[in-house]
Amino acid sequence: MRCPYCGQILVPKKDRKHFRIHKCVNSKCSYYQQNLSKLPKNLKPADKHKYKLHYLYREFSIDFFKMDLHELPKNAINFNFKKFNPHIMGLCLTYHVNLKLSTRQTAHALQEIHGINISHTMVANYAMTAAAVIKPFTDTYDYKPSNILSADETYIKVKGIRHYVWIVMDACKKSILGYQVSNTRAVGPCILAMRMAFEKFKTFPDNALKFIADGYSAYPLASQQCKLEKDWNFDVTQVIGLTNDDAVSTEFRWVKQVVERLNRTFKYSYRVTCGYGSENGALYGVSLWVAYYNFLRPHPYNYWRPLNELAAFKDAGNMPAKWQILIYLGQKNILNMQQNSGI
């Protein structure tokens, strides 16, 4: 590997979990000399190490662009209702997801309001099954996104250990386009969330795309990999801090605030879970909430109607029926995926 500015062979310096860092050590490199000239005039020589002056390249050991984003469900239970029926499953999802009740509170509400004696474990099983079946439909739906996207990451707990949820949303139409759950804050999950969002475009807008994020370094690195691997040419605009101290923050602060409000909405429904029991459960829990947010939750932006109105909901008289229709659409989507992949 050679430096694109001086042609010098890059020297491997550090090994990380998903990549190796190569560095150009040529002191006469034009890239190094240009950065050197930008240093403050009163900078002490001992503080020069605080600035990244040399050209760096990250060689990824994992190809995040070949990983399957739409994996078919494996651990979900079946839909053979021995004691209950699909309507009761719809009731469980309505109380648990729409009304943000925990599984125990949901079981208690069904007992006290409807006279249905169901365990909280069965409620959790229903939620896991519905999430696994609905997820492929949510991830492959044609959202017709705008050219302004906003991204952010937030914290959750899985077995008491900090994990991260990455979200990429349409800042204009408010739909969630990409999401990932990870145990690290590395660049890999950020790339996967970006891929999931960008695949919603029938034709990628390239430089017309406005991608707004915070000051975290994973977003420019993910953008760099998108350019190298997929030829997706776009720039990441980073809104740094809480106040508008520069022109970029003043112009794009509203975009960053959209995704911050989305994080607060997610956390309001997440807190009742007291954390997730497994990474797989966390992913399906988030995907179930994304399906509710995109297709069922009333939004003031759309005059208190769902963001994406489905024609299949036309004759659905209540929310449990809408959950059943979402499960049906998810099953159809899975069948199509299986036929196309030859499973």
Question: Residue 343 — pLDDT band, cuts 50, 70, 90?
Answer: low
Burial of 134 (0-12, 13-18, 19+ CB in 10 A): buried
Is 162 inside any structural domain? yes
pTM value is 0.85
* 272 and 168 fall within a common domain: yes
**Domains held by the chain: number:** 3
| Overall size of the chain counted in residues | 343
Domain boundary among 277, 297, 329: 277
Is 1 inside any structural domain? no
Does 271 score more than 90 pLDDT?
no
CA distance 53 to 29: 10
* 49 and 85 fall within a common domain: no
* 162 and 255 fall within a common domain: yes
Q: What are phi and psi of 26, to 5 degrees?
A: -75, 120
Domain boundary among 248, 277, 306: 277
- Helical spans, DSSP H, in 24-149: 30-37, 86-93, 103-109, 120-140
CB 124 within 8 A of CB 92: no
* 182 and 147 fall within a common domain: yes
Give the CA angle between residues 73, 326, 91 to the nearest 5°: 100
* 243 and 186 fall within a common domain: yes
State the helix-helix crossing angle for 120-140 and 279-295, rounded to 10 degrees: 60
> What are 286-341's pLDDT values in tens digits?
999 999 999 999 999 889 999 999 999 998 889 999 999 999 999 898 888 878 76
* 15 and 136 fall within a common domain: no
Looking up tokens 């106040």 gives: 243
Q: Element (H or E) spanning 255, and its range?
A: helix 247-270
* 205 and 307 fall within a common domain: no
* 229 and 170 fall within a common domain: yes
Is 5 inside any structural domain? no
**pLDDT value of position 24:** 93
* 161 and 268 fall within a common domain: yes
Q: Element (H or E) spanning 266, and its range?
A: helix 247-270
* 147 and 180 fall within a common domain: yes
* 265 and 307 fall within a common domain: no
Tokens of 151: 């991204």
CA distance 180 to 255: 20
> What are 5-17's pLDDT values in tens digits?
999 999 999 888 7
Is 108 inside any structural domain? yes
Among 162, 227, 172, residue whose Cα is nearest residue 194: 227
Is 4 inside any structural domain? no
Question: Residue 70 — pLDDT band, cuts 50, 70, 90?
Answer: low
Domain boundary among 258, 277, 296: 277
* 196 and 152 fall within a common domain: yes
Q: Which domain holds residue 334?
A: 63-140+285-343
